Amino acid sequence: MLTLRGNSGPRRGVALSELALIEDGAVMVENGVVTHVGLSRRLENLAETQDAEVVDLDGRVVMPGFVDSHTHLVFGQPRLMDYEMRIAGADYHQIAEAGGGILSSLRHVRAMPRKSLEAQARKFISRMIQNGTTTLEAKTGYGLDESSEIKVLRALEHLDRQPLDVVPTFLGAHVIPQEFAGRGDEYIDFLCEHLIPKVSRSKLARFADIYCEPGAFTVAQSARYLKTAVSHGLGVKIHADQFIHSGGTRLAVELGAASADHLEHVSEEDIRFLGVSSTVATLLPGSVFHLGLKHYAPARRLIDGGAAVALATDFNPGTSPTCSMPMILSLACTQMGMSPAEAITAATINGAHAIGMGNHVGSLEYGKQADLIVLDAGDYREIPYFFGVDLVTMTVKRGEIIYSRN
């Protein structure tokens, strides 16, 4: 049993490898929360005195459920044309000219009713559950007008706790929509003066996010957007330094952002700043893999520099259409040099801290939600080792079995 018990904050440095493993462990659950964790023989005796139901997992690995701290869950339709064109050698601009890219998702999301978007998202959530995810963050960003962004936030509200915890993030600044083409500052004005206040008043989002990258939004635009979000009581996140060094990571640290995500082109100076900050470095190797790129985020330098590293799927229709956190762990180990223990910590307790849920999920300890998974493995290192293999046999959320392969 991997409990991940320990520090109150996200894990850094050598602490990323500390799984608080119990060789012959057990967990006791009551009313959806963990009440005891310890050796099986002790908890079996306790279970007898409390007339508790005992479930024998026959020597399998038990651990906290995965916390997927960066997804674009609601997007309308898969971008299959983009996929084929990219394989054939087309670049981003050629795909966009053919009607693909983010703006194609925008057309679908704007056209689809909320219930249809919810139904599609539930299918993806079901796949995530089968791969061991018990908590996820989900962003807007494929509507980019008032009615569509609110529609997606309402969809996420309906999806929350059905059965997973879904943490909503307002990504109104994903790209500049066509109706504001060439007028990025005016679009930021609209978001800051109108839409962020409305999202805040409605309490539909916990975070605001922005894509700080050439072709999307500048550091100055990002700073204005995120400062406005903070002034309206929202936590902030930022897509930073994905394709070039844009300065987004430094901005995230300066603003005390919950996380800076991607970081494939983060600088050594940025790593030093992250190492002494509260901002979690959320790495997304799935998008690098799916795009056929070679430049992964420098996980080892980030860890050695003291940064709190998390891992997430970046589930989205264009660059990372995967629901599998175990596959992300495999990529983290083989492509970014993380150890299996570091990857597990980054995908559980550190992911929880990246979305403000560290006191509730991400580890198996007293008072936290009983969110756990059972794997058909005798050693936790098998999780990344068997890449692309489904080892999850049971997923438990708040003490209830929501998936079982038996």
DSSP state of 194: I
Q: Mean per-residue pLDDT for 35-54?
A: 93
Identify whether 127 is part of a domain: yes
Identify whether 129 is part of a domain: yes
Do 206 and 261 reside in the same domain of the chain?
yes
Q: Supply the mean pLDDT for the chain.
A: 97
Do 334 and 209 reside in the same domain of the chain?
yes
Number of folded domains that form the chain = 2
| pLDDT over 70 percentage in the chain | 100
- Identify the band that residue 275 occupies on the pLDDT scale cut at 50, 70 and 90: very high
Contacts of 401 (CB under 8 A, 6+ apart): 394, 395
Contacts of 141 (CB under 8 A, 6+ apart): 72, 171, 172, 174, 209, 211
Identify whether 6 is part of a domain: no
Do 48 and 143 reside in the same domain of the chain?
no
Do 150 and 259 reside in the same domain of the chain?
yes
**Residue 15 pLDDT exceeds 90:** yes
Q: Mean per-residue pLDDT for 24-39?
A: 96
Return the pLDDT at 229: 98
Contacts of 33 (CB under 8 A, 6+ apart): 367, 368, 369, 370, 398, 399
Do 313 and 388 reside in the same domain of the chain?
no
Comparing CA positions, the residue from 185, 311, 296 lying closest to residue 241 is: 296
| pLDDT over 90 percentage in the chain | 95
Do 163 and 222 reside in the same domain of the chain?
yes
Do 56 and 88 reside in the same domain of the chain?
no
Return the pLDDT at 395: 98
* Enclosing domain of residue 387: 13-64+361-404
Comparing CA positions, the residue from 2, 43, 29, 68 lying closest to residue 324 is: 68
What CATH number is given to the structural domain containing 284?
3.20.20.140
Do 72 and 28 reside in the same domain of the chain?
no
Do 60 and 70 reside in the same domain of the chain?
no
Identify whether 375 is part of a domain: yes
- Identify the band that residue 103 occupies on the pLDDT scale cut at 50, 70 and 90: confident
Sign of the CA dihedral running 301, 303, 307, 313: positive
Return the pLDDT at 96: 85
- Rounded distance between C-alpha atoms, residue 147 and residue 200, angstroms: 15
What CATH number is given to the structural domain containing 394?
2.30.40.10
- Rounded distance between C-alpha atoms, residue 278 and residue 135, angstroms: 21
**Residue 139 pLDDT exceeds 80:** yes
Do 225 and 328 reside in the same domain of the chain?
yes
Return the pLDDT at 16: 97
pLDDT tens digit sequence for 276-294: 999 999 999 999 999 999 9
Comparing CA positions, the residue from 233, 246, 277 lying closest to residue 259 is: 277
Do 319 and 290 reside in the same domain of the chain?
yes
Identify whether 323 is part of a domain: yes
Do 346 and 381 reside in the same domain of the chain?
no
pLDDT tens digit sequence for 215-226: 999 999 999 999
Identify whether 117 is part of a domain: yes
Identify whether 318 is part of a domain: yes
